[in-house]
A and B are shown apart, each in its own frame.
Chain A
């Protein structure tokens, strides 16, 4: 490791006090990093987590994967940034089959959520206000008719999970979208939706849970 090889002398005057850190008699200015929208990085203020409950994987119907969870922004001025989407799989019973199942993240342009259950997102820091009522999240709990939403374009991302209980790596929380890529921006009338299905469509041993971590600005 190498220490900086020079320094500059700053003459204090009036005004604010800049944060710094002294190492070997030199002052290092302490910075905060922000993103292009001016939001501070690694800042829990304004961060929400919307998480689904646990549900057995259902057989897909109507020639389309099952709609599982959504986050939708219908506010005219607020912007939602989807920072990450994570998935966990577990088992409710033995299953020795070989039909894996996949989960896919899409943009959605409209919501026709006739079934399922709404989600009350949880704050990452309790010191900020309530979530705007125009920002909504929900998931399919299997207790009503399957909900639908309108996909806006092709897949943003896909993950595959092994169906057989003999396999490994089932119970990990896996990112369907993560901080290694830029956030997905949701303006008014925009959302993200999660679908899943199994290739064999017969295995209902798998349980899934989803979570969407997002920021409102």
Chain B
């Protein structure tokens, strides 16, 4: 965490107009919150989302990667999720999905995604930032270090599976995962094959 590193002297009577909102004859100053990177919180500009849908499962398969190869741009991973759906009867299995950082080697294979913009005024995604999803044989990527997060989802048809399970959510964890040059994240299944299909998505922000 970082403390504010500067202050300004306010001189009444001159300068800019401060936004207020009047309620019951009193003026409330209206403030816009920013995070430690100076980015407006909940601002959709510069935010992208993409997902791999209904991907076939396999043991230790990499379903989704996001990798930043740019020397100056920074990627903030706001959210990563998985959802699982049964396609046939199955009894008594729970599949694990993990979120790792990758090594500095850019992932390959799978399908290169074109992430959707939350606000179309956002510019094109820099070509050095790549999201890939499994296309039958998984994305080729190497996990680095211990998992950032893990979730178990039941495959048992009589259980309560489905839904959307967050591996990371910046409003829950309190911070995004920051990807600088040659850093990435990967969503990987546990070492059991499992049954059915899995979808996985990522929501991320790019800043200078």
**Contact surface of A with B, Cβ cutoff 8 Å:** 13, 16-19, 29-36, 38, 40, 81, 97-102, 104, 106-107, 152-164, 166-169, 174, 176, 179-185, 187, 190, 199-200
Contacts and interface: CB of A to CB of B under 8 A. Distances in A.
A107 to B, nearest CB: 5
A102 B83 contact: yes
Contacts of A104: 53
Contacts of B51: 154-158
B90 interface: yes
Contacts of B32: 33-36, 38
A89 B53 CA distance: 20
Interface in B39-55: 40, 42-45, 47, 49-51, 53-54
A179 B84 CA distance: 23
A106 B118 CA distance: 11
B30 interface: yes
Given A162-B160, A174-B163, A180-B172, A102 B87 contact: no
A183 B157 contact: no
A17 to B, nearest CB: 5
A156 B169 CA distance: 15
Interface string B106-142: 0000000111101111000000000000000000000
B42 A183 contact: yes
B90 A18 contact: no
B58 interface: no
Contacts of A34: 19, 30-32
Given A156-B49, A199-B86, A35 B40 contact: yes
B169 A180 contact: yes
Nearest to B46: A182
Contacts, number: 188
Contact of B199 (A36, A101, A160, A190): A160
Given A34-B31, A153-B116, A185-B118, A166 B158 contact: yes
Contact of A35 (B21, B43, B115, B201): B43
Contact of A158 (B45, B83, B159, B170): B83
B53 A155 contact: yes
Contacts of A32: 21, 28-31
A160 B84 contact: yes
Contact of A181 (B19, B78, B121, B163): B78
A114 B78 CA distance: 37
A209 to B, nearest CB: 16
B79 A159 contact: no
Contacts of B21: 32, 40
Contacts of A190: 120
Among B40, B121, B170, residue most surrounded by chain A Cβ atoms (within 10 Å)? B40
Given A35-B43, A187-B120, A158 B164 contact: yes
B90 A181 contact: no
A155 B22 CA distance: 41
Interface string B23-43: 101111111110000001011
B26 A18 contact: yes
B150 interface: no
Contacts of A162: 86, 157, 159-162
Given A33-B32, A158-B164, 5 more contacts: A29-B29, A98-B87, A102-B54, A176-B164, A184-B118
Contacts of B47: 181-182
B42 A35 contact: yes
Contacts of B23: 19
